[in-house]
Amino acid sequence: DAGVTQSPTHLIKTRGQHVTLRCSPISGHKSVSWYQQVLGQGPQFIFQYYEKEERGRGNFPDRFSARQFPNYSSELNVNALLLGDSALYLCASSTLHRDYLNTGELFFGEGSRLTVL
């Protein structure tokens, strides 16, 4: 079975540009979360989407946005890139019941490594 897939794996942008990162969750998983991981730190929560609706947002500026499609895949968009946006962007899928209680296991993709010059 295919795991969580992310694209692109690596990309280089310059300050002020825009980037779109894509994620396909494990088949059957309706919850997709995005995390930012700066080198030497743990993943930091950006967004969670479930059934195409935003279910949570971390402490990130409005330059960050995301959406989820009917097939549960997701996109993360970052506008007006800053040098500090350079990081590994991780997508994770999980099962999520209607009352938000779930199995507790996150399945991560390999990430998209973004470098902003």
Partner 1 sequence: SQKIEQNSEALNIQEGKTATLTCNYTNYSPAYLQWYRQDPGRGPVFLLLIRENEKEKRKERLKVTFDTTLKQSLFHITASQPADSATYLCALAGPRGNAGKSTFGDGTTLTVKP
Q: Is 96 in the site for partner 1 (CB under 8 A)?
A: yes
Q: What is the dihedral of CA 67, 68, 73, 75, to 10 degrees?
A: 0
Burial letters for 14-34: b for 16+ Cβ neighbours within 10 Å, e otherwise? Answer: eeeeebebbbbbbeebbbbbb
Q: Please, what is the minimum distance in Å from the beta carbon of residue 77 to partner 1?
A: 19
Binding residue for partner 1, selected from 45, 64, 67, 86, defined by CB under 8 A = 45
- Among 61, 28, 49, smallest CA distance to 91 is for 49
Q: Is 22 in the site for partner 1 (CB under 8 A)?
A: no
Q: Is 92 in the site for partner 1 (CB under 8 A)?
A: yes
- CB of 65 or CB of 79, closer to partner 1: 65
Residues that bind partner 1 (CB under 8 A): 4, 31-33, 35, 40-45, 48, 50, 55-56, 88, 90, 92, 94, 96, 99-111, 113
